[in-house]
Structure 1
Amino acid sequence: MKIIHFRNLLFAFVLFLHHGLLSQVVDFSKASIAASSAIASPFKEKMIAVLQEEIANKTNLKLSSSPQDKSPLLLLAQQNSQEVNGFTLPTLTKDDQPSIQKEGFRLVHQQIGGRDLLWFIGADQRGLLFAIGEFLRTADLSNQKILFDKKYEKSSAPMYAIRGHQIGYRNTANSWDAWDFKQFERYFRDLAFFGTNAIENIPFQDGAASPHMKINREEMHIKMSQMCQAYDLDYWVWTPADVDLADPQKFQEELKAHIEFYKNCPRLDGVFFPGGDPGENHPKYVLPFLKAVAAELKKYHPKAGVWLSLQGFNDEEVNYFYDYLDQNKPDWFTGIVTGPSSPDLASTRFRLDKKYQHRHYPDLTHTVRCQYPTENWDQAFALTEGREVTNPQPSYYAKIHNRFAPFTDGFLSYSDGVHDDVNKVIWSQMAWNTEKDVRQVMVEYARYFFGNSVAEAAADGILALERNWVGPVEENGGIETSFAFWQNLEKNHPELKGNWRWQQLVMRAYYDTFIKRRKMYEQGLEKEANLILSQAKVLGSEKAMSLALEKVNQAVQRPAAPELRQKVVDYCEALYQSIGLQTSVAKYKASGAERGAILDFIDYPLNNRWWLEDEFAKIRKMADEAAKLERINIIATWENPGPGSYYDNISDQLKGPRVKTKTEDATDVAWWDNGLSRRRLSTQLFQNFPKLEYEDLDPKGSYTIRISGQGDALLRVDGVRVRPVIYNKGVEEFKEFQLNPKFISDGKISISFDEPEESHLNWRQHSKVFDIWLLKK
């Protein structure tokens, strides 16, 4: 009896807890919407319509804006409102103070006379917009159901004033050059619901029109301004000058283009002029031009600001700019933008007069050869997924944002497509609150775009995709786990198959897994081919080469995981249909191979079969069999030089265990031959000045260091410069250094490199190191 009594008590306690939790959830499924008369038109009508549309899309419920007696109410107000529909605004408490700051808001539940009220109270118009976004991200909006958990009541304001993204309507974009007005408005609205308050367009630097454009650029540039006006978002423009501003005629022509655009823009808040990338004008020409731009801009948009980045400026030009500010203290100038190739953010904020603002211009869209390259990225991904691939990296970009944000007044990111959609959201949310949990942002992302039922699982799936890119694929068991997870989500949520964000994420799960399986298979084939080559003295050079090529080319005749490859192809087609995503130059008319054309590299070799084919062609031209066998032996033992010797691929984490430095630009693929280089895979990765540590050497041994690289290799061993005995500077040509026995006497050495004077060269021509051997004689 005691046991039964205890069970009854336990059951009652569980029911109490359950009821307590449920009591926090308020049902607004039969709610009406009312708005304060203090909200200016047409913004008020726009917000009512937005809320109705979003709820209808997610729940199939059509909420009336004519409140019914006793029905629950969604009340839209601003802080200066007196009442809404006969109800007085909730009293401000001490904890509500953030909500009265610029762009702040309150989301508050009340129950008055048995009637549930949910208040959306903005400090200003934008605050109301962001309150609506907060509700849509946190409420349970499912079929015929609107449930709001009181734990999501909030008083909030953004930490950083500028939170925007560049959405340039131009050919280089890999998706939105195919969009119409409706798709752009949808995207602006989605970004705003996650705290974005600015959009930056590119009205002048157009080049050739995209074959995908349904609307001419001039019309779209003005329409974007109108969309921003409707949602009270700032409208910025990025306006480089790739003409010679020292030429008075070109100066005036460029100014005239600005004036005509300003006249026609219903809203314009910021003009950003990059000093470089593109543009090569000295600031002594740029600053007078911007002063003239500012004078014309103020005639049509009095509150708009003029901004300049120092991208590409050398030390003399940077100093000229700061001297100009110090001497003139111009009121027409608003602030500095710090982007790629600019002086660093901290020193810029330190040097910049506090009178002027400072904006970050972060690159969220690229993975390599960029401002924030993907860390610890496997070469197989760098070679096949490329520079613009679906790249959800919420934890990484939250870390970057929070590291640099304190030196700025906010950011407007660089983007050229929707593949970085998750990254845009994470930056907007981190700029609102740097302490917000990254997973919670992803839960809200998934809830808003995919629905409440899948929010938690999809959030974990996104974070898993980010972990797919950490470290060598051979050692990353999470790739297969993530794949199984996403396959299950794909199977259980067929209703999302037409959702382009969902399509991108599922496609990435397939792509990552396909590449992992293919790499492991193709690398295995090459190991077998090298065993064949090691028997060349017995087989003869010709037979050994033929058999080795036959082995590595099984990757083509009997490819790995063709069913996964087909799924990637199918998803790319679906993405082209749903969002205009251009994943191939040939098939979908992408503007360039680096602009998200992942299908053009999906079959790129992940072993050295192309290189072997070319090397064997060279060997066959040799007259002497002994010379042929000598070269074949170097190839066969490239990665396995024999007992007591060591090999390191400088930029491969798995094949470079003694390398202590990392590549500056991820696994920086050299990008030869438009990404389709036939060179050895290790040659397409590099470091400029690597450091290596060797231990457990034979103190009595005789060692030679061999280097494969390009240009110079100014070697130091234990801090001492060593002279070469062979010093070839061409790509894949060898340099060799015979080591003095004194270096080896303690059984260990350290290797480093001095930096040669190459300031006159483009970074792509700088000296590089690809492979290092320590060869024991």
Structure 2
Amino acid sequence: MHPQTRFKASLTGRLVPLFTILLFSATYFPCAAQVIGLKNAAWIISPSVPSPMKETAPAVLTEEIAKRTGITLKNASAWPKGNTPVIALALSSDKTLLSRALPASAGTNGPEFKAEGYRIVTETAAGNTTVWVIGADTRGILFGTGWLLRHLKMSKAFMGKPLLELPEPVNVASSPAYPIRGHQLGYRSTANTYDAWTVGQFDQYIRELAVFGSNAVEGIPFHEDDNPSPHFKIPAREMRIKMSEICQKYDMDYWVWTPATFELTDKGKRQAELDLHEQFYKECPRIDHIFFPGGDPGDNHPTEVLPFLKELQAKLVKYHPNAKMWISLQGFNTEQIDYFYKFLESEKPAWLQGVVSGPGSPPMAETRYRLPKQYQHRQYPDITHSVRCEFPVEKFDQAFALTLGRESVNPRPFAFAKIHAKYAPFTDGFVSYSDGSHDDVNKVLWSMRAWDPQMDVHGIMEEYTAFFFNHTVASAAASAIEGLEQNWKGPLAENGGVEMTYINWRILEKTEETLVNNWRWQMLLLRAYYDQYTRLRLIREQELEKQANAVLSSASLNTITKSMDAALAIVNKADEELISRDIYKHIVDLSDALYASIGLQTSTEKHKPRNPERGVVMDFVNYPLNNRWWLADEFEKIKKMTDPEQQLARLKTIAFWENPGQGSYYDGISSVAKGPRVKTISEDATDVAWWDSGKSRKRLSSQLFQREPALDYDNLDPRARYTIRVVGEGDALLRVDGRRLSPVIYNKEPETFKEWIVPLSLTQDGKISVTFDGPEESQLNWRKQSKISDIWLLKQP
């Protein structure tokens, strides 16, 4: 069936927006362009390219083309005669390849002469069209091959025939801006996919990272044998050696992340750890870097850490003479940080290569400025989490925080491009923190922006979709990925773009049926369907709660029990009458398909993840988006009250919680939907959403908080008396227009009230500013510190 016929038929009566039809018309019927046909091409590689790259680069080129086209390029031992096109791989130091001169360069300072750089140039000579891949070194050969694969047009059946062509003319040269570009792939039980992978899956994934410019992989080798995942295909000890072998194959640096989670003063454990390391170093064919996190995890003073690392380095270079030792200052206090820098100044340790900055480290710029120039600085960015993390999603709607949570499929290309641009100039590059394939888009974005910080974000997404999906859908799918990022911005109920993104992905799903088993495709579809389902649920469940509150607001002394029963029946319709069952079923099907294709563990019942926080979105797909659980618990408390007047008063408080009446104001602190007067932004206000294993029965507003919020009010009645009411936990040291007020009610227990009377003198100009002082609680764990979740400004009769 014609693709446009298919996608129109798939929408079951939905009106397809005109711009969407035009978009797909342009996608499937692009303007003609001059191209080089490569269906009959042969490949040649320079004999000066050493092994294993001499074998690896042609394998990457031919195997990836064969997967996408069914065409197997042949190796030529000599320049073919006639018009057979050739893909020639050579080093920039070569003068000739099989007696044919390499294309002339502009000099010896071009990108193809810089570490890892390459030049791609097309040339027609002696009847042959040649696509030259000229690398500065073996990595340059591999990265040049990656550029070519990302820009080829490939299909098994385009207009009924295999397609393999390259737009011409091509003459591009590039070298990386940052020397360190890598990702952590931890084969451990806490990962949401990696623990289910075979050696072959790791090999393919590392290859694909290299295609997009990554030159490093970081493993997590120790202690996983003590806590094996039920998904392990082989023991962790074997896999860490296999990953080293894979890195050797692709000439990628192999990093090892290895903390000390015991007291280094324990001589027995210290020696056992040293022996464990040495055995690992001995077994690995390749190790380039050891990264020791100072305090995440671990709790050792640098007086113990630094001698330990020096001894580790001595063992490391016995087997890997050029390998380097790194440390992070994560978790170090000011005294420990100062000790570290004094040690560098006085000892100038040659065994230390540099410092890694990750979550909990001192500021990036400060680290670079304090670090002596002879030491490198590497970023360890958390690109895998959305909340409770280093770079939480800004203004994340609580509905997503409660359902998709911390570790869901999370393409954030534009956000991470800005984050990379902010911190990268203070570093020599990055190796990201990742706990699964769900952050795959982010990995590619970081790799390519570290190669070229000016690279267009949409262009990166188009290269991603062209390579992993196909060139015909590249632009539309790139925009659809960007739509998923936009889904997460601002109040979900107000974001009509969520439905448009969902419709676009539905169209893509129906028109690109050959991608049904592509795990990247499945992940993005899952997000599109999940976002739409969550928005529909949110709108409906919030409306049900409004109806329930209307019932409670009309309650009288004679109808208390009846009103509670009626209100609860209304909000519970969310469970009894599921909305959009077809969307929900597709979400279930996609989650199961992802477990089969890539081992993504989204359901505790079906997939046996480490814990529900690790991307287990199916456990929360129907988590309440109104307060029905809280209402049920509150009603039980009310039924135990003996005074009907108190019962009724509590019902009225509940009914008017978010709607206190004309002239009064309510703000849910850190709710992007219900806090219009709040000026302050918590970097990660959704942190407490993870209570009771993610299934908290607390009021939704109580699960969002700030410690020192600031609010502005205007248009106040200068003749009226106002009261400020606060719900939270612990202390709330309130100021109005800078003046500290004394409370008239001051309860510190969770979900209890504090109240202050606002002096008339402060409201005479019709406006006030409300702020809070932070109580001294440095001795408390952050989870026990004071918090503020709801604020009212109540106009008195």
For normalisation by structure 1, the TM-score amounts to 0.96
**Quick check: 1:674 aligned with 2:693?**
yes
CA distance in 2, matches of 1:509, 1:192: 28
CA distance, structure 1, for counterparts of residue 227 and residue 144 of structure 2: 41
Q: What residue in structure 2 maps to residue 565 of structure 1?
A: 584
Is contact 1:664–1:687 with CA below 8 Å preserved after alignment? no
The CA distance in 1 between the partners of 2:409 and 2:564, in whole Å, is 39
Residue in structure 2 matched with residue 27 of structure 1 by the alignment: 37
Equivalent residues in 2 for 1:212-251, closer than 5 Å: 212-251=231-270
3-state DSSP class of the match of 1:770?
A: strand
Q: What is the aligned partner in structure 2 of residue 741 from structure 1? A: 760
The residue type equivalent to 1:190 in the other structure is: E
User: Which of the residues 503, 511, 525 maps onto 2:544?
Assistant: 525
**Structure 2 contact 723–794 (Cα < 8 Å) conserved:** yes
In 2: Cα distance, 1:48 partner to 1:364 partner: 32
Q: Is residue 2:168 matched to residue 1:150?
A: yes
**Residues 341 and 332 of structure 1: CA distance in aligned 2, closer, same or farther (over 3 Å):** same
- Pairing 1:291–2:303 present: no
Where does structure 1 lack aligned partners over 5 or more consecutive residues?
Answer: 1-20
Q: Which amino acid aligns with 1:543?
A: K
In structure 2, C-alpha distance between the alignment counterparts of 1:476 and 1:670, rounded to whole Å = 22
CA distance in 2, matches of 1:584, 1:393: 24
8 Å contact kept, 1:277–1:311: yes
* Equivalence for 1:57: 67
1:753 to 1:464, Cα distance in 2 relative to 1, 3 A: same
Query: What pairs up with 1:371-450 in 2 under 5 angstroms?
Result: 371-450=390-469
- Give the percent of matched residue pairs that are identical in Structure 1 and Structure 2: 54
Q: Which moved more, 1:40-49 or 1:398-407?
A: 40-49
Q: Deviations over 1:355-407 (max 9, x none)?
A: 10000000000000000001121110000011000001100111100110000
Verify the 8 A CA contact 1:38 1:80 in the aligned structure 2.
Answer: no
1:706-750 CA-partner distances (Å, limit 9, x unpaired): 000111111111111111111111111111111111111111000
Q: Which residue of 1 aligns with 2:22?
A: none
Letter in 2 for 1:685: L
Cα distance in 2 for residues equivalent to 1:700 and 1:523 = 35
Aligned to 2:80: 68
Counterparts of 1:104-503 in structure 2 under 5 Å? 104-143=117-156, 144-150=162-168, 152-206=170-224, 207-503=226-522
Query: C-alpha offsets along residues 634-654 of structure 1, whole Å, 9 cap, x if unaligned?
Result: 000000111211100011122
In 1: Cα distance, 2:52 partner to 2:704 partner = 56
The worse-fitting range, judged by mean Cα deviation, of 381-390 and 757-766 is: 757-766
Whether the 8 Å contact between 2:685 and 2:704 is mirrored in structure 1 is no
- In structure 2, the residue matched to 1:12 is none
Distance 1:718 1:490, change over 3 A: same
Q: What does residue 3 of structure 1 align with?
A: none
Tell me which residue corresponds to 2:523. Answer: 504
Report if the CA contact (8 A) 2:91-2:134 is conserved. Answer: yes
Is the 2:86–2:131 Cα contact (8 Å) retained in structure 1?
Answer: yes
1:268-291: CA deviations, max 9, x gaps? 000000011210011110001001
Task: Report how far residue 24 of structure 1 moved.
Answer: 3.5
1:715–1:752: 8 Å Cα contact kept in structure 2? Answer: yes
Q: Which residue of 2 aligns with 1:663?
A: 682
Aligned-residue offset at 1:113: 2.5
SS of the counterpart of 1:536?
coil
In structure 2, give the amino acid aligned to 1:293.
Answer: L
Question: Residues of 2 paired with 1:296 and 1:152: CA distance?
Answer: 48
Residue 23 of structure 1 and its aligned partner are, at CA, apart by 6.3
Taking the aligned partners of 1:663 and 1:95, their CA distance within structure 2 comes to: 51
Shift of residue 539 of structure 1? 5.2
Q: Does 1:760 align with 2:772?
A: no
The answer to whether the 8 Å contact 2:122/2:169 transfers is: no
1:331-367, Cα deviation, whole Å (9 max, x unpaired): 0011000000110100000000001000000000000
1:42 corresponding residue in structure 2 = 52
Unmatched tracts of structure 2, length 5 or more:
1-30, 157-161
After superposition, give the CA deviation of every residue in 1:482-516 in whole Å (9 maximum; x if it has no partner): 11100000011110000000000011110000000
How far did residue 538 of structure 1 move? 6.3
Partner Cα distance (1:604, 1:96) in 2:
59
Cα separation, 1, equivalents of 2:505 and 2:432: 29
CA contact (8 A) 1:374 1:666 kept: no
CA shift, 1:82, in A, is: 2.6
The aligned amino acid for 1:91 is A
Is the Cα–Cα contact under 8 Å of residues 81 and 127 in structure 2 kept in the other structure? no
Retained in 2: the 8 A contact 1:310–1:343?
yes
The one-letter amino acid of 1:203's match is P
Q: Is the 8 A contact 1:375 1:666 kept in 2?
A: no
Match of 2:24 in 1: none
In 2, Cα distance between equivalents of 1:408 and 1:478: 37
User: What CA distance in whole angstroms lies between the structure 1 residues aligned with 2:413 and 2:649?
Assistant: 50
CA distance in 1, matches of 2:672, 2:403: 18
* Separation of aligned partners in 2, 1:214 and 1:675: 29
Q: Secondary structure at the match of 2:240?
A: helix
Moved more, 725-734 or 518-527: 725-734
- Give the conservation status (yes or no) of the 8 Å contact 1:530–1:636: yes
Mapped to 1, the partners of 2:264 and 2:169 lie a distance apart of: 57
**Structure 1 residue 98: deviation in Å?**
1.7
Map 1:521-560 onto structure 2 (within 5 A). Answer: 521-537=540-556, 540-560=559-579
Separation in structure 2 between the aligned mates of residue 33 and residue 229 of structure 1, nearest angstrom: 23
Count of aligned pairs: 758
Q: Distance in 2 between matches of 1:585 and 1:565?
A: 17
Offset, 1:94: 5.3
Aligned residue number for residue 84 of structure 1: 97
Instruction: Tell me if structure 2 keeps the 8 A contact 1:26–1:148.
Output: yes
Shift of 1:42: 2.9
Letter in 1 for 2:204: R
Q: Quote the residue 2:3 is aligned against.
A: none
Shift of 1:764: 1.8
Structure 2 CA distance for aligned equivalents of residues 393 and 38 of structure 1: 41
TM-score of the superposition, structure 2-length normalised? Answer: 0.94
Query: How far off its partner does 1:142 sit?
Result: 1.6
C-alpha distance after superposition, 1:113-154 (max 9, x if no partner): 231000001100000000000011111112222211136531
Per-residue deviation at 1:584? Answer: 1.4
CA distance in structure 2 between the aligned counterparts of 1:152 and 1:519, rounded to whole angstroms? 50
Moved more, 733-742 or 203-212: 203-212
Q: CA deviation at 1:669?
A: 3.7
Which secondary structure does the structure 1 equivalent of 2:393 belong to? Answer: coil
SS in 2 for 1:236: strand
* Distance in 2 of aligned mates of 1:361 and 1:55: 33
